[in-house]
Copies of this chain bind each other. A is one copy, B any other.
Amino acid sequence: MCGTDSANGANGHVQPAATNGNANFRSNPYQPVGDFLSNVDKFKIIESTLREGEQFANAYFDTETKIKILAPALDAFGVDYIELTSPAASEQSRKDCEAICKLGLKAKILTHVRCDMRDAMLAVDTGVDGLDVVIGTSSFLREHSHGKDMAYIEKTAIEVIEYIKSKGLEVRFSSEDSFRSDLVDLLSLYRAVDKVGVNRVGIADTVGCASPRQVYDLVRTLRGVVSCDIETHFHNDTGCSIANAFCALEAGATHIDTSVLGIGERNGITPLGGLLARMVVTAPDYVKSKYKLHMLKEIEDMVAEAVQVNTPFNNPITGFCAFTHKAGIHAKAILNNPSTYEILNPADFGLTRYVHFASRLTGWNAVKTRVGQLGLTMTDDQVKEVTAKIKTLADVRPIAIDDADSIIRSFHLGLAENTDVAQTNGDAAPVPAVVA
């Protein structure tokens, strides 16, 4: 059995309405049993809309948007950390960093800096709770970006980490483009920074090339090498950023980087909402108790407006059709029990489901429900007859709810005018006249 029904019991497992005598139903052969590596029910979120998100092509967050809107909203939502653009990026970035530190939020404030003593000193002075230090370790970046070798990287990393720790701040050290870096170089670098007391090491799929089982393998290997926390950062170029974050947690990662709607360089990183869709299915109690899921749509709308994009039509949870059911067999089952075709409960996010009945794929069960919603009464055979009429019109042109409702009402009126109403199932009351 996969995942859980968020509409159901506190143990996070789906219960059928009746077991049908199938005693094996609750066995769960696909999930790890007592997996001690996994942090799927105790992860932390490093929310990077105000850092990675600023690297999105359309992003320009002015000071007021950052300070009065986004940072407080993310804090209220319950993210563990808010990551900000390096104060070395521009004078205003430095000032915004200082101002956000003074807001007194519950979330810890981080800033993301190059592995460079000058950048670190500038950042420490802003009043942040911690620094996320990064340097490229792949041959690509060593060749085409900073031009340093691994010995130099390790020496500089240790200097910068020790300096930040001497100031009493939290420090993370991350490689960039980790999945195209030499494994032995990486592990030896991480072990060295772990020894000098770094709080977290970071793995970053900077180019979005990693696949889920690669992620699992690398994080699991790293978990055996360092004793500190493990943060992971996944770009979405090949559409795997949510799945990769999930597999990282399964392998022992502790922190996931997100941004609202996934905005970031190119087509971005693990989206906050998408990650929570994945995690609420796996760890409903943890996610629902920790994060204010009802705020998700409001925060996404806020960011979408700030960066002038539309929420993708197929966005997890908040896409306009995420809880719309259309095919006849789906609609029938959903009307009996929403868990049949929904692993997420829209009510957890302050949203509602919608069963689409005005199409040629509709079934008579969906139409029967609509008949009830309209306050009308028909026998099952009558519902089947009007369903056929709806499907016939929907074959000719797209029809709206109004069209379908008109067909239902007009059909019903015809029945009412006929005093000899057929009652094939014996469950239909005499039909009152209804004027559409």
A267 within 8 A of B: yes
A41-49, A140-148, A163-171: which one contacts chain B?
A140-148
A302 within 8 A of B: no
- Quote the shortest CB–CB distance from A288 to chain B (angstroms): 15
Given contacts A327-B265, A343-B207, contact A142 B20 (CB under 8 A): yes
Which of A21-29, A293-301, A376-384, A412-420 lines the interface with chain B? A21-29
User: Nearest residue in B to A263 (C-beta to C-beta)?
Assistant: B314
Is A254 an interface position by the 8 A CB rule?
no
CB contact between A2 and one of B179, B271, B274, B316 (< 8 Å): that residue = B179
CB distance from A116 to the nearest CB of B (A): 11
Inter-chain CA distance A360–B329, complex, in Å, is 53
A387-400: CB near B (< 8 Å → 1, else 0) gives 00001101111100
A211 touches B14 (CB 8 A): no
A209: chain B residues at CB < 8 Å are: 2-3, 281, 343
Asked if A352 is an interface residue, CB under 8 A from chain B, the answer is no
Chain B residues contacting A246 (CB-CB under 8 Å) are 211-212, 240
A435 contacts the other chain (CB 8 A): no
Beta-carbon contact of A85 and B361 below 8 Å: yes
Q: What B residues does A92 contact at CB under 8 A? A: 360, 395-396
Name the residue of chain B whose CB is nearest to the CB of A310: B310
- Taken together as a complex, chains A and B put the C-alpha atoms of A20 and B210 apart, in Å, by 24
Complex Cα distance, B329 from A31, in Å, reads 41
**Prevailing SS type, chain A contact patch:** loop
List 18 contacting pairs A-B, 8 Å CB cutoff, sorted by A: A2-B209, A60-B398, A89-B328, A90-B361, A92-B396, A140-B337, A141-B340, A143-B336, A144-B336, A207-B341, A212-B212, A213-B247, A237-B343, A238-B343, A238-B344, A239-B271, A239-B278, A263-B314
Shortest CB–CB separation between residue A428 and chain B, in angstroms? Answer: 22
A56 CB within 8 Å of chain B: yes
List residues of chain B with CB within 8 A of the CB of A22: 139, 182
Q: Check A237 against B344 for contact (C-beta < 8 Å).
A: yes
Nearest residue (CB) in B for A143 is B16
A207 surroundings in chain B (CB, below 8 A) = 3, 340-343
Distance in angstroms between the alpha carbons of A24 and B246 in the assembled complex: 30
- A229-267, CB < 8 A from B: 236-244, 246-247, 250, 261-263, 265-267
Q: Which of A72-80, A124-132, A214-222, A366-374 forms part of the interface with chain B?
A: A214-222
Residue from A90, A183, A240, A261 with most neighbouring chain B CB atoms (10 Å): A240
| A330 in the interface (beta carbon within 8 A) | yes
Q: How far apart are the CA atoms of A404 and B282 in the complex, in Å?
A: 47
From A100-108, A151-159, A318-326, the one touching the partner chain is: A318-326
**A247 to B214 Cα, complex, angstroms:** 11
Whole-angstrom CA separation of A307 from B257 in the bound complex: 33
17 further interface pairs, Cβ-Cβ under 8 Å (given A237-B277, A265-B330): A16-B140, A20-B142, A24-B182, A30-B210, A30-B218, A57-B320, A58-B313, A89-B360, A90-B392, A140-B340, A144-B340, A145-B329, A207-B341, A238-B316, A267-B314, A268-B321, A312-B313
Does the CB pair B278–A316 fall under 8 Å? no
Known: A17-B143, A214-B2, A267-B321. A89 touches B361 (CB 8 A): yes
| Residue pair B214, A327 in contact (C-beta under 8 Å) | no
| A332 interface contact, C-beta 8 A | yes
Given contacts A265-B325, A271-B239, A321-B266, contact A343 B30 (CB under 8 A): no
Cβ 8 A contact of A322, one of B240, B261, B266, B340: B266
Using CB atoms, name the residue of chain B closest to A218: B30
Complex Cα gap A427–B141 (Å): 25
In the complex, chain B residues whose CB is within 8 Å of the CB of A284? none
> A333 contacts the other chain (Cβ, under 8 Å)?
yes
